[in-house]
A and B are shown apart, each in its own frame.
Chain A
Amino acid sequence: MHGYFGGYALVGLLGLVGVGFVAVGLGANRLLRPWRVTPEKLLTYESGVDPVGEDWSQSHVRYYVYAFLYVVFAVDAVFLFPWATVFALAGFGAISLGEMFVFLGFLAVGLVYAWKKGVLTWV
């Protein structure tokens, strides 16, 4: 279990053990428990209250921009990881720092625009 493949084999093994643990636990539970259902027992409930209406409600398009902001800043954060590993190495330093701030500067313009348009205030 050494090296790159060994390390990820260990991760995969741990995943299998986790899945097996849950499967055995739930399976044993299923075999041991009584199983007598009624329509009332199968009803979805929230804090003891029966549900009303449909299971689908359309949300307003203005919430889409929050999901979109998340995507944009996730892409932004992904570039920070390789940058953080190299910027202390010889030959990078101040120049790489400047390059990253140019990158972040462009995105900051977008953030300022979103802020000025009132997107960041919760409605």
Chain B
Amino acid sequence: MTLADDVFGLLGVVCLAAAVLVVTSRHVIHAALWLVVCFGALAGCYLVLTAELVAWVQVLIYIGAVVVLMLFGAMLTRAPVGAVQELDSGNRPVAAVAGVATAGVLGTLVVAAFRGAYVDIHHTQIGDGKVIGTSLFRFFVLPFEVASVLLLAALVGAIVLTKREV
């Protein structure tokens, strides 16, 4: 166990605990704020794994933009900010089964795919902007361009949905 392993494990525990608090909180706003903690710990995990650019993208997009979108979404609803009993849905067992099944499938997949893979993070190339940029613009240009079409579709969709009644 190196120090990097310890920090990674600690961040993983914080991330998992925050994720549990997101789904068990009865306050919508508290759930969104716990999601910030969860995403922040995940960004820390990426940093320890030397995926530098991915970590900062996680901070910029997920903590910056997606949580803003969620808080904005909560502001649009009539839901009160305080504790709500109705947040406890009757679908809880089904949701738990679906969650555990998804976690099982993803966990099995990761273990099956990367069981023998070992990367010495102290002697590897740091995943900074140059590394990501090189692979993005040399090998993954088409997915990159397709992403712009996806963003365009999302933008037009949001405008169509919100402009209807103005």
Contacts and interface: CB of A to CB of B under 8 A. Distances in A.
- A, B: real partners: yes
Interface of A: 4-5, 8, 55-56, 58-65, 67-72, 74-79, 81-87, 89, 91-92, 96, 99, 102-107, 109-110, 113-114, 117-119, 123
Contacts, number: 134
> Which of A5, A60, A69, A91 has the most chain B CB within a 10 Å cutoff?
A5
Contacts of A8: 47
22 contacts: A8-B47, A56-B80, A58-B76, A59-B75, A62-B162, A75-B151, A78-B57, A81-B133, A82-B53, A83-B137, A85-B128, A85-B130, A89-B134, A102-B145, A104-B148, A105-B148, A106-B152, A107-B155, A109-B152, A113-B156, A113-B159, A119-B163
Interchain residue pairs A-B with the least CB separation, the first 8: A82-B133, A86-B133, A106-B148, A110-B155, A85-B129, A67-B72, A71-B65, A103-B148
B66 interface: yes
Nearest to B160: A117
B75 to A, nearest CB: 5
A71 B68 contact: yes
- The majority secondary structure among interface residues of chain A is helix
Interface residues of B, number: 48
